[in-house]
């Protein structure tokens, strides 16, 4: 039945007719347009139109088009449509809804007279007669209500009857402060409301330099470039051009321009009091991913380096939203790095003082550190309630750490060799262990520079430790030997690091044996120092011992291995592989993918706040003299190590979990096995849980991608998608653009693998290496971040050796970080491991554009349901006694890949994005 839209054509009683092909229809008789009857020939035209379009009568919309054609043919204009526009503005801390200042008064005045926000609506269709864009319809919205942290603005806007579908709109902010717009809803259409999900800042027109650019938003409907309605093509292209900018000038707060630059702002060459000059990362000499361009002036002493003055610009919508609670972790990190960490220096008399005994380490959790009086009394207790405790009968503040979950379960967990080994599979850094595939172990470094390449770990040593179970050759053949290998990567840095005050470094190899019960047993540690100052290469092997001296040497050697592993974890597995490598994906997406592109909308929640947390890291974490350099191995050369590893080891294709496991020898392809992989170690919690999560993500991405792309041609012909992937390879990761391993983007399957890899890195991989930081490193003897003294057996004097024999505990304590180093790291790790109350977890809440498409909504609901199933699977696994790497006396269950979490430091929960 043809059912004309009542606001355009008003029908009278119906009569029947036929389309000439056997299909019957009903037409109003006579037609009325408003109160105007149509002439008789209009009915004939309708019949003729229906007869020439056999399928039209089967669709309501087609019938409407027929009647519109009738109205046009008789020269009668359609009636206009009145829609209600509702704009929802989120209350902000310092933005438009701030209650202080003259500007607020001016904004209230604007609200009162309805001149607060101006909307301009654009049609998705071109004018049928002229082929040009239809005139935009504008209107002002006025404030109508306020509920909690939201304010509503409304207006009634009249659209011409032939305006067609609204596809985009401009917003002009007449206030004197920026506004955070949540969404805009246009209601009054027969097919339901048209929704614009914004979640974006709109700058005040009074604060933006000329020429002023109005803020453009598209509806929640997604379009591939080839499917873009004609009326929106110009808007789509111009918005992308605006986001790319021209690559010139210094970026200013509030701008939305995305561009690339090298890491040339980590050091401060102009600093006269400190040695803070650092090499530029990015380019042939020091390959590295690109960061967001800020365009600040060059430093005076080094024109290749950028000054660090002022704000570290990121595009406005990449900044942490002020609608977040004060407990939002990243804001807390900022406060910790810029206020707490400097203040810690005043809490210690001697910054080079270590811990005199282990009970003094325990006192950090029992008694805490007294802080000098602060100007804002109670500030820390409000900001960091986990760390700062009030002291009875005093106004002082005390920094008292919560015992980590590991320490709470087993106070001596850090001392045990089995826990040392278990954590390589189920701890904070479970993605570095490799299978030993050949013997003897041998370095690839130049022996003329670094000394003999052969490892000092011999077959006899290993076979002695496994006590006749099998030979080394048999162990390798049966895949029983594993290694943490930091030899070739670290050895070139040893000499430089040893010149730094208060620190030392060794290249290391650590061998593990897979026992019959599926656990690992450490067999040997090799520590190496290259030739220095005319001395020959020094290397020694340490083994678990059954006598006191050997046992204490083994414990000190473990501390050196753990310090190297801590630095590698923080710099490579955490910073480089997640934060740093992801930033170019975000920049390219905003430059090349329209906001209405379905792949942009798929990736958007996985990119939230990453650029801001990265900018914060450049300010105070990875910068010259920052937390990493002053408290982690290898000191001021930390980011150089990161560049070396990026150059030698980073591959986009190996960032996919299955490929990473295969590359490290931890799995082999097996079509008959779950996930298509057979694990080398069956009880490998990170891999076991991670592969389920990987498959869940891949299934969701596959259904999403295949909904929009039906063939390889649709991938190849998508110019935005191809430009995005090309820019990631050739610009964002341009130092590796010529590598042969880059995946091609020619089929939907290629796109699924690429997007799944990005989503995994931002969600699962990051969660696995981030949210267990306080649990496993909060009690720093378990994972010391830096070592300050050499092994007692390296060039010992008679006096130093006697000291070791008399006080081996003090030898271990002097190896650990100083009090100031340890407490700084503990405070930062506590905050980095924390989930805010409004964390956005994987699969928990559907994005508005996904919800509007029934097929995508259904796929998401399945995705969300499978994630809930994973929660139960992980609980069940942690309860199985046979899985000894995640269950046992004093063992912390492996929950880092459990999708959801309550707020706080929980050691579980997988957020969508790298937001902390």
Active site residues: 574, 579, 766, 770, 916
The sign of the CA dihedral 333, 337, 339, 344 is positive
Nearest to 572 by CA among 495, 506, 512, 660: 660
Burial of 113 (0-12, 13-18, 19+ CB in 10 A): exposed
Three-class HEC string of 802-852: HHHHHCHHHHHHHHCCCHHHHHHHHHHHHHHCCECCCCCECCCCCCHHHHC
* Half-sphere exposure in the Cβ direction for 108 (13 Å, CA): 9
Q: How far is the C-alpha of 49 from the C-alpha of 403, rounded, in Å?
A: 78
How many other β-carbons are positioned within 10 Å of the β-carbon of residue 875?
12
Q: Which of 668, 348, 693, 637 is nearest to 490 (CA)?
A: 637
Give the count of beta carbons closer than 10 Å to the beta carbon of residue 347: 15
Rg of the Cα atoms in the chain: 32
* Interatomic CA distance for residues 121 and 49, integer angstroms: 31
CA distance 535 to 236: 66
For 168, residues 6+ apart whose C-beta sits below 8 A from its C-beta are 121, 122, 124, 216, 217, 218, 219, 232, 235
Closest CA to 406 of 801, 778, 24: 778
Q: DSSP string covering 474-534, please?
A: HHHHTT-EEEEE-HHHHHHHHHHHHTSTT-B--EEEEEEEE-TTS-EEEEEEEEEE--BTT
Using the 8-state DSSP alphabet, how is residue 281 labeled?
B
**Greatest pairwise CA separation for the chain in angstroms:** 117
Please state, as a whole number, how many other Cβ atoms lie within 10 Å of the Cβ of residue 357.
11
Q: Which two tokens stand for residue 517?
A: 């019960």
Buried b (16+ CB within 10 A) or exposed e, 78-96: bbebebebbbbbbbbeebb
Give the three-class secondary structure for 636.
Answer: helix
CB atoms within 10 A of CB 866: 19
| CA separation for the pair 718, 716 (Å, rounded) | 6
3-state DSSP of 673-738: CHHHEEECCCCCHHHHHHHHHHHHHHHHHHHHHHHHCCCHHHHHCCHHHHHHHHHHHHHHCHHHCC
**Which single residue is written with the structure tokens 């740093």?**
580
Displacement of CA 353 from its chain's centroid (Å): 37
What is the SS3 assignment for 234? helix
What the block records as the tokens of 266 is 């980590």
Contact of 820 with 786, CB cutoff 8 Å: no
Could you report how far apart the first and last alpha carbons of the chain are, in Å?
56
Residue 586 CB-half CA count within 13 A: 32
State how far the alpha carbon of 654 is from the alpha carbons of 50, 663, 675, 833, in Å. Answer: 58, 7, 16, 26
């Amino acid at each position: 039945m043809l059912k004309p839209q009542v606001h355009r054509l008003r029908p009278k009683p119906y009569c029947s007719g036929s389309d000439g092909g056997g299909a019957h229809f009903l037409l109003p008789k006579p037609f009325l347009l408003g109160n105007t009857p149509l002439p008789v020939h209009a009915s004939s035209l309708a019949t003729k139109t229906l007869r020439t379009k056999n399928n039209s009568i089967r669709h309501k919309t087609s019938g409407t088009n027929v009647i519109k054609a009738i109205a046009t043919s008789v020269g009668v204009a359609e009636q206009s449509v009145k829609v209600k526009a509702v704009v929802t503005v989120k209350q902000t801390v310092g933005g438009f809804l701030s209650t202080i200042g003259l500007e607020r008064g001016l904004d209230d005045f604007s609200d009162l007279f309805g001149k607060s926000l101006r909307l301009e609506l654009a049609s998705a269709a071109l004018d049928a007669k002229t082929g040009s864009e239809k005139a935009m319809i504008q209107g002002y919205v006025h404030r109508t209500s306020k509920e909690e942290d939201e304010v509503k603005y409304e207006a009634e806007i009249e659209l011409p009857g032939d305006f067609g579908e609204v596809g985009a709109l401009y917003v002009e902010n007449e206030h004197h402060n920026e506004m955070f717009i949540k969404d805009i809803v246009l209601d009054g259409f027969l097919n339901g409301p048209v929704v614009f999900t914004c979640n974006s800042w709109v700058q005040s027109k009074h604060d933006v330099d000329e020429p002023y650019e109005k803020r453009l938003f598209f509806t929640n409907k997604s379009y591939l470039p080839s499917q873009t309605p004609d009326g929106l093509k110009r808007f789509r292209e111009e918005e992308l051009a605006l986001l790319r900018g021209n690559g010139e000038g210094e970026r200013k707060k509030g701008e939305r321009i995305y561009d690339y630059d090298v890491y040339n702002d980590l050091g401060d060459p102009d600093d006269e009091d400190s040695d803070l000059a650092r090499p530029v990362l990015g380019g042939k000499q020091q390959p590295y991913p690109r960061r967001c361009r800020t365009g600040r002036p060059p430093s005076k002493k080094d024109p290749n380096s950028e000054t660090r003055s002022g704000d570290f610009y990121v595009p406005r919508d990449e900044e942490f939203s002020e609608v977040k609670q004060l407990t939002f972790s990243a804001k807390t990190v900022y406060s910790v790095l810029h206020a707490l960490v400097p203040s810690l220096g005043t809490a210690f008399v001697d910054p080079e003082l270590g811990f005199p005994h282990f009970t003094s380490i325990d006192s950090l959790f029992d008694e805490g550190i007294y802080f000098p009086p602060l100007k804002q009394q109670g500030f820390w207790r409000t900001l960091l309630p986990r760390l700062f405790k009030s002291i009875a009968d005093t106004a002082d503040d005390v920094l008292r750490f919560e015992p980590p979950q590991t320490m709470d379960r087993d106070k001596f967990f850090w001392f045990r060799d089995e826990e040392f080994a278990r954590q390589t599979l189920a701890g904070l850094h479970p993605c570095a262990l490799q299978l030993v595939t050949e013997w003897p172990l041998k370095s690839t470094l130049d022996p003329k520079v670094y000394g003999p390449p052969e490892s000092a770990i011999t077959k006899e040593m290993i076979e002695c430790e496994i006590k006749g179970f099998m030979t080394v050759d048999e162990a390798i053949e049966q895949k029983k030997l594993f290694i943490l290998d930091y030899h070739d990567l670290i050895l070139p840095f040893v000499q430089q690091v040893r010149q730094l005050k208060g620190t030392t470094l060794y290249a290391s190899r650590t061998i593990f044996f897979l026992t019959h019960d599926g656990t690992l047993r450490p067999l040997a540690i090799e520590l190496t120092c290259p030739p220095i100052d005319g001395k020959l290469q020094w290397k020694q092997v340490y083994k678990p011992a059954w006598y006191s001296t050997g046992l204490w040497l083994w414990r000190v050697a473990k501390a050196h291995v753990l310090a190297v592993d801590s630095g590698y974890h923080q710099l490579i597995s955490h910073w480089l592989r997640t934060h740093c490598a992801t930033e170019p994906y975000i920049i390219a997406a905003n430059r090349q993918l329209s906001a209405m592109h379905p792949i942009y909308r798929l990736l958007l929640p996985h990119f939230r706040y990453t650029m801001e947390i990265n900018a914060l890291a450049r300010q105070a974490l990875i910068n010259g003299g920052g937390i990493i350099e002053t408290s982690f191995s290898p000191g001021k050369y930390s980011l150089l190590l990161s560049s070396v590893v990026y150059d030698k080891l980073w591959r986009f294709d190996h960032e996919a979990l299955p490929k990473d496991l295969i590359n490290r020898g931890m799995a082999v392809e097996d079509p008959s096995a779950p996930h298509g992989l057979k694990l080398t170690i069956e009880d490998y919690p990170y891999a076991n849980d991670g592969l389920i999560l990987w498959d869940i993500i891949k299934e969701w991405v596959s259904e999403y991608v295949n909904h929009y792309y039906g063939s390889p041609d649709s991938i190849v012909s998508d110019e935005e998608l191809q430009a995005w992937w090309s820019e990631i390879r050739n610009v964002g990761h341009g130092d590796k653009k010529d590598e042969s391993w880059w995946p091609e983007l020619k089929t939907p399957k290629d796109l699924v693998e690429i997007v799944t890899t990005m989503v995994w890195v931002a969600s699962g991989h990051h969660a696995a290496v981030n949210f267990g930081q306080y649990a496993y490193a909060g009690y720093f003897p378990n994972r010391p971040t830096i070592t300050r003294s050499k092994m007692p057996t390296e060039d010992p004097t008679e006096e130093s050796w006697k000291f070791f024999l008399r006080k081996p505990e003090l030898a271990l304590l002097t190896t650990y970080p100083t009090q100031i180093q340890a407490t700084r790291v503990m405070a930062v790790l506590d905050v980095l491991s924390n989930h805010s109350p409004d964390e956005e977890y994987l699969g928990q809440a559907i994005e508005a554009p996904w919800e509007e498409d029934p097929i995508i909504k259904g796929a998401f609901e399945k995705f969300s349901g499978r994630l809930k199933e994973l929660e139960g699977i992980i609980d069940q696994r942690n309860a199985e006694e046979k899985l000894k790497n995640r269950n046992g006396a004093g063992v912390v269950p492996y929950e880092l890949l459990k999708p959801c979490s309550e707020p706080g430091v929980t050691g579980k929960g997988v957020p969508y994005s790298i937001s902390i």
